[in-house]
Amino acid sequence: MIPAAIKRNLITQLGNALNTTVTFTEATLLTGGCINNAIKLNTDKGLFFVKWNTNAKANMFQSEYRGLKVLKDTNTICIPDVFGFDENFLILEFIPPSNPDNAFWENFGQKLALMHQQTHPKFGLEFDNYIGSLQQSNEQNKNWDDFFIQKRLQAQLSIGDFTANILSDFDKLFQKIPSIFPVEKTALLHGDLWSGNFLVKGGDTPVLIDPATYYGNREMDIAMSKLFGGFNSNFYFAYNESYPLENGWEERIQICNLYPLLVHVNLFGGGYINQVKNILSYYVA
């Protein structure tokens, strides 16, 4: 299941993290990921979650560890403990599956609002990371419009196979973006906030995983949460009660979601390009 060399290394790292000898007992393959392999690792010291990939991109797991640490250090929302990593794997605390109870979505909205109130003088981050398996440049910029255009939209357009018409429409859109977003402070973002990137712990506690962290406009996380069906309405109500969104945020959802849609076009192709075209046609018609 897991290559012997990786297993030896991760058991060694786990032992170092726990300051004891760890004995492997069983590994259970987990499903759901489309980029990395995942297992539930049974040991004599408990259960752990391991992501591994023999063809992982450079620094992929290191940047994920660093992103998780940035989020965890805010003490605002639950983040799994990390027990080790190298170029081919990441060892995390295992979170037993649980269904959300009546308090979960309200807690989630409130805690994300607290996380979004962590700010920085510049948009971006001190290190680059990944969204899916695509590199995400976080070169810092004091201006959100410039950062969003250059490091999010243009960055994806430059690596994809897009028609001249689509590129032309994006050029027209770029001229309008400075008049679309209100001026806001930076917010610490998860960066890839959809239903596959959080867990439910003990019924009432949201746990964020698989971040593509950076300081950005907080509407990016809110918009991404709505891209594939949306979260429970109590989440949005609790968030807005805790940290009210700027007027017109719902009209800006589509602009924000151009970034994850372009990521999906570049990763998976398919019908995502039609969603991109529909958004462009609305703004540049």
Cα 116–Cα 96–Cα 58 angle in degrees, nearest 5: 60
Q: Average pLDDT in the 125-149 region?
A: 98
Question: What is the distance of C-alpha 251 from the center of its chain?
Answer: 22
Helix (H) or strand (E) holding 207: strand 205-208
Sign of CA dihedral 261, 262, 266, 271: positive
Q: Does the pLDDT value for residue 3 go beyond 90?
A: no
- The answer on pLDDT for 27 being more than 80 is yes
DSSP code for 252: G
- Angstrom distance (rounded) from CA 65 to CA 82: 7
* Sole residue written with tokens 């609790």: 238
Out of 192, 204, 210, 221, the active site residue is 192
CA-to-CA distance for 173 and 179, rounded, in angstroms?
11
pLDDT score at 34: 74
CATH architecture of 4-93: 2-Layer Sandwich (3.30)
* Domain residue ranges in the chain: 4-93, 104-284
Using one digit for the tens of pLDDT, what is the confidence trace for 175-199?
999 999 999 999 999 999 999 999 9
State both tokens at 212: 């593509």
Instruction: Examine the pLDDT at 281 and tell me if it is beyond 80.
Output: yes
Which pTM value belongs to this model? 0.96
The H or E element spanning position 4 is helix 4-18
**CA distances for 69 relative to 2, 19, 149, angstroms:** 26, 20, 27
The answer to whether 4-93 and 104-284 have equal CATH topology is: no
**Is CATH 3.40.50.300 the classification given to domain 104-284?**
no
Q: State yes or no: is 192 an active-site residue.
A: yes
Tokens for 147? Answer: 């950062």
pLDDT tens, residue by residue, 145-170: 999 999 999 999 999 999 999 999 99
